[in-house]
Amino acid sequence: MKKKIGKALVVGAGISGIRAALDLAEFGYGVTLIDRSPHIGGILSQLDYQFPTDHCGMCKMLPLVDRDSSSQYCLRKGLFHENIDIHLSTELASVQGEPGHFQIMLRQKPNLVDPARCIGCGECVKVCPVEIPDSFNAGLSVRKAIYLPVPHAIPNSYIIDTMACTKCGDCEAICPTGAVKILEEVQKDFRILVVDDELILRDSLKEWLQDEGFTVDTAASGPEALDLLSKQAYQLMLTDIKMPGMDGVELLQKAKEDFPDLCVVMMTAYATVETAVEAMKIGALDYFLKPFDPDTLVPIVLRIYQDIEAAKEAPMEVGAIVFCGGTAYFNPADGKNTFGYGVYPNVVTSLEFERILSGTGPSQGRLIRPSDSKPIQKVAWLQCVGSRDIQIDADFCSSICCMYAIKEALVAKEKAEAELEAVIFYMDMRTFGKSFQRYRDRAENEHGIRFQRGRVHTVLQDETSGDLIISHIDYSGACREEVFDMVVLSVGQKPASGTTALSEMVGISLNQWGFGQTQPFSLTQTDQEGILLGGSFSGLKDINESVIQASAAALSASRVIHTAGGSLAPELIPDEPLLDVSKEPPRVMVAVCTCGDLLPKLLDTKQLVRRLEIDPAVNQVVFIEQTCTAEGWENLVDLVEKHKPNRVLIGVCLPYIYERKISELGRQAGLNPALIDVVDIMHIAQSSTLKAETPSTDEISAVNKELLAILGMGVGRLKWADPAPVPSVRIIQKALIVGGGIAGMTSALAIADHGFQVDLVEQEEMLGGNLNWLQRTLEGNSTKTILEETILKVEKHSLIRVHSGSRVLASYGQVGRFYTTIEHKEKGALTVEHGVTILATGGAEATTTSYGYGTDKAIVTQKELEQKLSDKTLEPAQLGSVVMIQCVDSREEPRNYCSRICCATALKHALHFKEENPDIAIYILYRDIMTYGFAETYYTQARKAGVIFIPYHMAEKPEVTTLDGSVQVTAAESIIGQKVQIDADLVVLATGIVSTLPKDLAEAFGVTLDQDGFFEEAEYKWRPVDSLKEGIFACGLTHSPRNITESIATAEAASQRALRILSHEQMPAGKVVAEVHHSLCSLCELCIGACPYGARTLDLDLEKILVNAAMCQGCGSCAAVCPNSASILVGFSDRQMFDVIDFALEGTALD
């Protein structure tokens, strides 16, 4: 338990928000995580399948160390972490203060259903008369006004869509637990005064607002209003500006003099912003433009109401704010070319198609089309809808659409009832991520997905069949038509709604398209210190990149909090030592919640008590009326203190909400929380005879049996529970970083800035790696500046020890305790101890022998070009013609991956040439231009500048011939259908990046390399910088090809992942970890092989199998493979399981 001094706010609880929140929480800070939607998970809650596995896997983000601080089940369903407070349906209302000490106010939508009381029975849905399109299914199905926001949340309580709700009150009447309160009493205490000279307006406003539950008075003039104000306290006044006699502004002035706390909102029929602004200067809160309807007015008033209510609470102080607000998706109906979207039912967006694929979707996962439920057999995906489209000011690439289209096509093929034909119409297939190219190749070659290059211009519907006719121009320039069952529009990004308002409120810049703008060389830092961006808020990103960026943002947030003094400190409240009950026989107290008077009606309580008490371990059975209420819980605590049991079993509903209460009860009673358990008994009451007033004897007997089974299982688990304390692992709070390039140095600084010592090993004499030869980026930022600044900081940092000219000889150990030998050429070897390792060994430009490289000095690589431009051995003025060939030996086996930077580099150099010498003819021969994200605009610029782009096929690669000092390039030009010959003064080859992580070094640290020699991460999407072996991380080019800014982000992410371990002196293991009964162990080592986390080792000296409790994730594979239970999982011992099975069979017992 840590005292949480530092605190952060994370705005947006999608994937990146969750990642950032978890990273900060795992480090030890308190986190407030808010989301304006009523559920966590963001867009991911609607997407069931993710490439490259085509499964989910979100749970892999859950904490692996100190994992009991968090829930450990499906993350889609819910997240509970002891350091994270989640507020849903909540927005950020205001921010003040400075980095390290921001004062924030939150605005939460009122919840008309009490989640603590809602048992999710769904009775309310049956009676709700309203039906509206279900946004969860992208509008493809309907829902009621009272609904579940997502089908899978835990706890899943209903909410009311206040805009759709007619307030008929039927749900409130039927709710068995009284959870629904449509007309909040408190709103009646909020008095609103409406001032307008028009009667109709006064009356309609009064009616609308009274419908919302407010108390409303009206006044026809200023003086009348002032009179009312003097008689009665109002919280809000809505006043017209233009009124005869005293006008609204004057009324405002007068009212404010006497009632300075009154909130006033101006209403004006004239769009005279000046008057309104003037009014706001003298104290008005806001203004409305007339005319207005209830749909626009009511929400604004509700918001003002909430703000006023919220303002009564003290502002919250946080050290840093991470915006993970995500992005919105382009609506094709808004485009210049709608492709029939919104008109033809079988034209859907990619998001809608995800819902059609989903088992919780509109057709329960059956692939049938919306118009006629015909099984889908032929689908077209149209790429770049809302992206790469200058006509709609979308001169950017949305980065993720190519991959999700391939994934959707593959999943559709798998799910389709019959053979499904899938065609993807694209301009460039942007497979720039690790493993993307091979995924695409498999889709094409193994699964028969057809990739059709060319932009579709028209989609028409066959009126009788509903089929869709696509017209497109193919590669050769010919116009073609093809018929499909369905068309999926791969929609791109647009800024999330409210982004502009948010950016104005907190004072951060947006880029020209309205997405969050970050600082040069940072994916996360805004122009406001302490305010960071994560995930797609700064442009759409896939899960992998979002997770990396979120961790990077968490790192920067943490650094701000740390710098401001918000560091961690041990809990000041001394932990009461827990009672040692290991020597006592088990004395279980069974507390059964009766849910008011519900349960006794259904139950023969005497018989239940008698049968439970047969077991001598059961000391007493007590009944509590409503455990969920404060009085009920106190009653329970009193009973525990009175009877002093050494184990407590609590039977209630919604067990997961008791996590914190259990810890508290444990502290109060001196009991290890592992000896307190909560079981769900309430579904019995709900499912059986909720409505029956007088249940029959058979029904009572059935309830008794089931209750006995559930409680008996709980008793069995508790009775044999091991009362031993949770083990922990000591952490050496130092880091080793291998590689002194920009990634390694960034990591070193990140960790050292948090007060931990770092050993930084660099094989060269000089720090800096690839930045030593790079000059500037595509965006025009100088790499020299950042390099010099970073080196200076690293060398001056008192906590960083730089070992230059050194290499790692050997390393052994496990998370928390590694021992690594470093050898310096002259000074010899030394061994350092460290708790974590970060690999930042970097990469290099690949060498090549293709395209005549080496035969003529006019044929160079992109790196060589950069160097020549830098030392001025090449003058653009002297060049007449330049050919750049992309994807040299890349994106084909054996180096079948995209190096991400080559297209940007080619554009950088091409634009530079054109700037220096507009007369140079520049030809870029490419396969797919990979200008993902906002780099797209440079591709547009290059085309405008006259750079000629010629695509080539793998089957018909360009040819380079050299003859007597002249170089000629021949390439097939598909549009003219001929080969073109170019006399080139310079041929530049983009050979891509290779990893320089030596295999033996990887082996020394126990990490594996992928087939291309890059670091193999624990999980591509969800744990992108972790190795499967805990405590080892990778960043920069070691991890995968990426540009400087992206490398820095991985370095920050890796540091954050490392810091969550380094921040602990002792790292507690989970409650559920494996142990070994050495006296029973035959040392067969089956468990070592079975452990997926490498947590088990054979100690040859001790002749024992040892378990690293921090690495063990409690999966139980070892216990399953061990024949005689020498390997056991705490909490799942044989005896516990036998008792659980036994009681589960209680239903079969004779009466």
Which parts of this chain interact with another protein (CB under 8 A)? 614-616, 1079-1086, 1089-1090, 1121, 1123-1126, 1133-1135, 1138, 1142, 1145-1146, 1148-1150
Distance of closest approach, residue 1146 Cβ to another protein, in angstroms: 8
How far is Cα 767 from Cα 763, in angstroms, rounded to an integer?
9
Render 1039-1077 in DSSP notation, one character per residue.
Answer: T----HHHHHHHHHHHHHHHHHHHT-SEEE--SS-EEE-
Q: Which is nearer to another protein, 830 or 1090 (CB)?
A: 1090
The kind and range of the H/E element at 747 are helix 742-752
Burial 1006-1041 (b: 16+ CB within 10 A, else e): bbebeebbbbbbbebbbbbbbbbbbbbbbbbbbbbb
Between the CA of residue 257 and those of 192, 230, 349, what are the distances in Å? 18, 12, 55
Structure tokens at 286: 């806001």
Instruction: Write out 979-1045 in H/E/C secondary structure.
Output: EEEEEECEEEECCCEEECCCHHHHHHCCCCECCCCCECCCECCCECCECCCCCEEECHHHCCCCCHH
Q: Which is nearer to another protein, 717 or 895 (CB)?
A: 717
Q: Helices in 762-921 by DSSP H: which ranges?
A: 783-796, 862-870, 902-916
Strand order in the sheet with 90-98: 90-98, 101-108, 316-318
CA 132 from chain centre, in angstroms, equals 28
How far is Cα 851 from Cα 607, in angstroms, rounded to an integer?
88
Between the CA of residue 678 and those of 653, 658, 715, what are the distances in Å? 9, 8, 10
Nearest by Cα to 300 from 272, 263, 261: 263
Q: Which is nearer to another protein, 128 or 1119 (CB)?
A: 1119
Distance of closest approach, residue 708 Cβ to another protein, in angstroms: 11
Distance of closest approach, residue 1124 Cβ to another protein, in angstroms: 4
CB neighbours (10 Å) of residue 167? Answer: 16
Q: Which is nearer to another protein, 16 or 1127 (CB)?
A: 1127
Distance of closest approach, residue 714 Cβ to another protein, in angstroms: 16
Distance of closest approach, residue 1126 Cβ to another protein, in angstroms: 8
Q: Which is nearer to another protein, 1066 or 1125 (CB)?
A: 1125
Distance of closest approach, residue 293 Cβ to another protein, in angstroms: 53
The kind and range of the H/E element at 713 are helix 697-719
CB neighbours (10 Å) of residue 675? Answer: 23
Secondary structure class of 491 (helix, strand, coil): strand
Q: Which is nearer to another protein, 829 or 1145 (CB)?
A: 1145
Distance of closest approach, residue 35 Cβ to another protein, in angstroms: 34
How far is Cα 381 from Cα 401, in angstroms, rounded to an integer?
10
Strand order in the sheet with 236-240: 215-219, 191-195, 236-240, 263-268, 286-289
Secondary structure class of 719 (helix, strand, coil): helix
How far is Cα 508 from Cα 500, in angstroms, rounded to an integer?
9
Residue type, 528: Q
Q: Which is nearer to another protein, 901 or 1119 (CB)?
A: 1119
CB neighbours (10 Å) of residue 454? Answer: 17
Structure tokens at 563: 């710098």
Looking at the DSSP bridge assignments, the partners of residue 861 are 989
Structure tokens at 331: 């609506």
Q: Which is nearer to another protein, 617 or 859 (CB)?
A: 617
The owner of tokens 């600082």 is 519
Q: At a CB cut-off of 8 Å and minimum separation 6, what does 445 contact?
A: none
Q: Which is nearer to another protein, 928 or 1146 (CB)?
A: 1146
**DSSP state, residue 69:** G
Distance of closest approach, residue 1150 Cβ to another protein, in angstroms: 6
Q: At a CB cut-off of 8 Å and minimum separation 6, what does 502 contact?
A: 92, 323, 325
How far is Cα 496 from Cα 105, in angstroms, rounded to an integer?
21
How far is Cα 596 from Cα 599, in angstroms, rounded to an integer?
7
Q: Which is nearer to another protein, 217 or 1139 (CB)?
A: 1139
Distance of closest approach, residue 709 Cβ to another protein, in angstroms: 12
Number of H helices and E strands in the chain, helices first, is: 30, 57
Q: Which is nearer to another protein, 268 or 1127 (CB)?
A: 1127
For residues 435 and 395, the answer to whether their CB atoms sit within 8 Å is no
Strand order in the sheet with 479-484: 456-461, 468-473, 479-484
How far is Cα 242 from Cα 290, in angstroms, rounded to an integer?
12
Distance of closest approach, residue 501 Cβ to another protein, in angstroms: 48
The span from the first CA to the last CA of the chain, in angstroms, equals 48
Distance of closest approach, residue 722 Cβ to another protein, in angstroms: 13
Structure tokens at 611: 């049968």
Q: Which is nearer to another protein, 200 or 614 (CB)?
A: 614
The two beta strands, 236-240 and 320-323, are unpaired
Instruction: Write out 820-831 in H/E/C secondary structure.
Output: EEEEECCCEEEE
